[in-house]
Structure 1
Amino acid sequence: MLRFLLRRDRVVLSAWVVLIAGVVLSVTGQYSRMFPTPDAALAFARDVAGNAALTAFTGQLTEPTLPGLIMWKIADVAFTLTALMAVLTVVRHTRAEEESGRQELLRSTPVSRLAPLATALGLAMGASLLVGALVAAIGGVRFGAAVAAPGLVFAAVAGVAAQLTERSSTARLIACGVLGVTYGVRFAADGSGVLWLRWFSPNGWSHLALVSGWVLVVPLVAAAALTALAFRLNLRRDFGAGVVPARPGSAGGDVSLPWRMHRTQLIGWTVAFALAGATMGGVAAGMRGTIDGAAPVMREFLRRYGSGEIGDTLLWMVLISLGGTAALFPVLTVLRIRSDETSGRAELLLSTAVGRMRWAAGHVAVAVTGTVAMMTAAGLAAGRGDLRVLTAAWLQVPPALTVGAVAMLAVGFLPRAAAAISFVMWLAVNMFGEIVGPSLGIGYDVANLVSPFHFLPRVLTGEQLTAAPLLGLAAVAVLLTSVGMARLRVRDLG
């Protein structure tokens, strides 16, 4: 079973491992060039140590040295990516395989009931440990162990989520929701200075482990307990079903079908964005002072996002981050078209009076309305009724939908590679401008051109609201979506 999963994931899992280790390596090289002497590193560390805005995003600076600055810059990103890799790997090889019927075929052979879950957990945890070993070779054993720990915990979280529901999309939502909520707890803890809250977040455990290695006992115990719970739930539920029974769908035509398929996921995303907006908006509201009063290094960093009040600049950074995360929703919604195609559900649906365009358009409509709903919830929660903040949140919708439009184009022209293309695009939008590009020697202004969010007017930080970039992004999204749907209409299914 393990050899089989390794063969299936040899490309995807290798890409994840190389991505995470490569990002750490590139930041290590970048910071080594930026701070060639201990005095240079110490001067920068003094500038960033007391900045609550940056600390909220990166975590606490553990020590005023070059290794400490490298971990401060990239550790939280590595923790989150490792956790996401583990979640997607486990759900793909457990609940998604069971939902598709392939696991039933495997179970007809001499394979025990627990073998698929055990193998998926072993694969995800092994990949996390491999990432940790590579990071340890770059930045030290403690850093590597801290990076591997969230992968162990969230592999087990995904294992539990896969037992609770009979849908892989819902299982991913549950596991990623836990990741998002616990990330928000860590963000609030570091941003507000209430550091004991980090004990309630797996990412927080890894930040604590950078200082005290014994803290790694906590994620190990949590991973073991959650793994035992996942096995227990697996033995108690019926094959093909979840612990929480699914409700039968109501009678309805093709118009309501995409909504029924995505509504649970959409409600979960919307609630999560409201909580994230309230948490991060509360941290931003507590920031005082102006950018001009910050240290030179901080002033240069913050001016990439705006000018004027530090609180407004941080709030814009929060909304940009939420917008980049929200872009994952239209990607997953559009990729459901491909999932239905490969599972045979699309063929069954299209044997009725439903045409391909109505089938695809239903998913696209849910992607659009869902993204608007999520950003509305985040804007209302972050701004507490402030129309400026709500407007700034709505501005994130066109670039987020542009990323989803790339997924639709891929489903139309390159269906087998659609998932890989979509996730690479999403990661590039969120990481290339701030991390990967500068680490490769590309300036921030040039690297950020990859992201459609870079072209938005920064209305919270003094810029005027202009329609041209919004209309341009909307036009690109409509064009890519239309071309992808047109191709889907004429190509062979499967």
Structure 2
Amino acid sequence: MLRFLLRRDRVVLPAWIVLIAGVVLSTTGQYSRMFPTPEAALSFAQDLEGNTALTAFTGQLTAPTLHGLILWKIGDVAFTLTALMAILIVLRHTRAEEESGRQELLRSTPISRYAPLASALGLAMGASLLVGTLVTVIGGLRFGLAVAAPGLVFAAVAAVAAQLTERSSTAHLIACGALGVTYGVRFAADGSGVLWARWFSPNGWSHLFLVSDWVIVVPLVAAAVLTAIAFRLNSSRDFGAGVAPSKLGKAGGDVNVPWRVHRTQLIGWVTAFALAGATMGGVAAGMRGTIDGSSPVMGEFLHRYGTGTIGDTLLWMIMVSLGGAAALFPVLVVLRLRADETSGRAELLLSTAIGRMRWAAGHLVVAVAGTLAMMAVAGLTAGRGDLHVLTAALLQVPAALVVGAVAMLAVAFVPRAAAAISFVVWLVVNMFGEIVGPSLGIGYDVANLVSPFHFLPRVLTGEQLTAAPLIGLAAVAFLFSSLGMARLRVRDLG
């Protein structure tokens, strides 16, 4: 089973490993060039002392040295990417395979009922440890273990989520929601200075381990306990079903099929964004003062985000970050078209009165309405009724929908590679401009051109609201979606 999974992931898995290790390596090179002497590193570390906006996103600086700055810059990104990699690996080879019916074929051979879950966990945890080993060469043994630990924990979280529900989309929502909530806890802890709250976050455990050896026991115990729970649930539930029973849909009413398919996922996303907005907005509301932009690095930071007011700058950074996360929702909704196509559900649905365009358009409507609802509740909870914050949140919607429209193009023109293309585009939009590009020596202004969020007016930091970039992004999203619909209308399904 493990050899089989390795063959299936022979492209995706190395890509994940190279991405995480490469980001750490390139950031190491970038910071080595930026701070060639201990004095330069110490000066920048002193500038960071008053910048709680950056600290909320990156975590606490552990040491005013070049090594400490590298871990501060890329540590939380590496922790989160390793956790996301583990979640996607486990759910791809457990719940998604079970939902599609492929695992039933495997289970008809002489293998244990535990083999698919055990091999998926082995692959995800092994990949996390391999990433940690590669990172050890760059940042030391402590950093390598800190990077691997969230992968172990969230592989087990995903394994439990795969047992709870019979829908792959719901399992992804549970596991990724747990990652998002615990990230928010760590964010609030570092941003507000309530550092003890980091104990409630796996990312926080990795930050704590960077300064205290024994903390590594916590993620190991958590991963072991969650793994035992996953195997226990796997042994007691019916194959093809989840622990939580699913409800039967209503007869007829094919107009509401997309809504019924996505409503649980959408409710979960909206709830998560409401909590994220309230938590992160509460941190920003408590911040006062300004950022000193006298140093070149801080001057560049203010050039990217606007005024030196800490609270407003952090709020805009939060809205852009939530917009980048929200872009994943339309991607997942659109990819459901491909999932229905490969599973045979689309063929059954299209044998009724509903047509292809109506089928695809229904999913696109849910993608647009869902993204709008998510950002609206995030803006309302983050700003506590402030219309400026709500406006900033809603500005992210056209940029997020561009990413979903690219997924629609991929599903229509290159369906077999649609999932890979969609997730790569989402990662590039979220990471290239702020992390990957600058670490490769590309300036922030140039690197951020690949992200549609770069073109939005920064209304929270003093920039004037203009309609031109919003109209342009909406037009791009509409054009890509229309091209995808036109292609989907004429190509053979399956």
TM-score by length of 2: 0.99
**SS of residue in 2 equivalent to 1:240:** coil
Q: Offset of 1:292 from its aligned partner?
A: 5.2
Q: Which residue of 2 aligns with 1:47?
A: 47
Query: Where does 1:86-101 land on structure 2 (aligned, <5 Å)?
Result: 86-101=86-101
Q: Which residue of 2 aligns with 1:109?
A: 109
Query: Where does 1:334-413 land on structure 2 (aligned, <5 Å)?
Result: 334-413=334-413
Which one is further off, 429-438 or 286-295?
286-295
Q: Which residue of 2 aligns with 1:466?
A: 466
**SS of residue in 1 equivalent to 2:305:** coil
Q: Which residue of 2 aligns with 1:289?
A: 289
Q: Offset of 1:466 from its aligned partner?
A: 0.6
- Deviations 1:190-235 (Å, cap 9, x if unpaired)? 0000000000000000000111121110000000000000000011
**SS of residue in 1 equivalent to 2:361:** helix
- Deviations 1:218-254 (Å, cap 9, x if unpaired)? 0000000000000000111111111010011123422
Q: Which residue of 1 aligns with 2:233?
A: 233
Preserved contact between residue 47 and residue 292 of structure 2 (Cα < 8 Å): no
Which one is further off, 461-470 or 291-300?
291-300
Query: Where does 1:8-27 land on structure 2 (aligned, <5 Å)?
Result: 8-27=8-27
C-alpha distance in 1, partners of 2:223/2:484?
A: 42
Corresponding position: 1:207 with 2:207: yes
Q: Offset of 1:42 from its aligned partner?
A: 1.0
- Deviations 1:163-184 (Å, cap 9, x if unpaired)? 0000011001000010000000
C-alpha distance in 1, partners of 2:367/2:254?
A: 16
Preserved contact between residue 146 and residue 209 of structure 1 (Cα < 8 Å): yes
Q: Offset of 1:50 from its aligned partner?
A: 3.6
Q: Offset of 1:299 from its aligned partner?
A: 3.8
C-alpha distance in 2, partners of 1:169/1:372?
A: 20
Preserved contact between residue 146 and residue 209 of structure 2 (Cα < 8 Å): yes
Q: Offset of 1:464 from its aligned partner?
A: 1.1
- Deviations 1:27-76 (Å, cap 9, x if unpaired)? 00000111111111111111113421111000000011111100000000
- Deviations 1:324-367 (Å, cap 9, x if unpaired)? 00000000000000111111111111111211111100110000
C-alpha distance in 1, partners of 2:211/2:284?
A: 26
The aligned amino acid for 2:338 is R
Q: Which residue of 2 aligns with 1:167?
A: 167
Q: Offset of 1:297 from its aligned partner?
A: 3.1
Preserved contact between residue 23 and residue 436 of structure 1 (Cα < 8 Å): yes
C-alpha distance in 1, partners of 2:264/2:287?
A: 35
Point out where structure 1 has 5 or more consecutive residues left out of the alignment: none
**SS of residue in 2 equivalent to 1:243:** coil
C-alpha distance in 2, partners of 1:292/1:20?
A: 32
Query: Where does 1:175-254 land on structure 2 (aligned, <5 Å)?
Result: 175-254=175-254
**SS of residue in 2 equivalent to 1:396:** helix
Q: Which residue of 2 aligns with 1:263?
A: 263
C-alpha distance in 1, partners of 2:291/2:202?
A: 32
Q: Offset of 1:310 from its aligned partner?
A: 1.7
Q: Which residue of 1 aligns with 2:455?
A: 455
Q: Offset of 1:289 from its aligned partner?
A: 1.5
The aligned amino acid for 1:84 is L
C-alpha distance in 2, partners of 1:474/1:412?
A: 20
Point out where structure 2 has 5 or more consecutive residues left out of the alignment: none
Preserved contact between residue 291 and residue 299 of structure 1 (Cα < 8 Å): no
Query: Where does 1:268-283 land on structure 2 (aligned, <5 Å)?
Result: 268-283=268-283
C-alpha distance in 2, partners of 1:416/1:76?
A: 32
Corresponding position: 1:3 with 2:3: yes
Q: Which residue of 2 aligns with 1:149?
A: 149
Give the 3 Å change call, closer, same or farther, for CA 146–493 of structure 1 in structure 2.
same
Q: Offset of 1:161 from its aligned partner?
A: 0.4
The aligned amino acid for 2:462 is G
The aligned amino acid for 2:354 is V
C-alpha distance in 2, partners of 1:7/1:388?
A: 50
C-alpha distance in 1, partners of 2:252/2:158?
A: 32
**SS of residue in 2 equivalent to 1:395:** helix
C-alpha distance in 2, partners of 1:15/1:280?
A: 31
C-alpha distance in 2, partners of 1:87/1:59?
A: 23
Corresponding position: 1:67 with 2:67: yes
Q: Which residue of 2 aligns with 1:303?
A: 303
TM-score by length of 1: 0.99
Q: Which residue of 2 aligns with 1:32?
A: 32
Query: Where does 1:482-493 land on structure 2 (aligned, <5 Å)?
Result: 482-493=482-493
**SS of residue in 2 equivalent to 1:304:** helix
Q: Offset of 1:127 from its aligned partner?
A: 0.4
C-alpha distance in 2, partners of 1:420/1:208?
A: 34
Preserved contact between residue 405 and residue 481 of structure 2 (Cα < 8 Å): yes
The aligned amino acid for 2:80 is T
- Deviations 1:80-108 (Å, cap 9, x if unpaired)? 00000000110111111111111111111
Preserved contact between residue 341 and residue 493 of structure 2 (Cα < 8 Å): yes
The aligned amino acid for 1:222 is A
The aligned amino acid for 2:416 is R
C-alpha distance in 2, partners of 1:348/1:103?
A: 21
**SS of residue in 2 equivalent to 1:98:** helix
Which one is further off, 37-46 or 325-334?
37-46
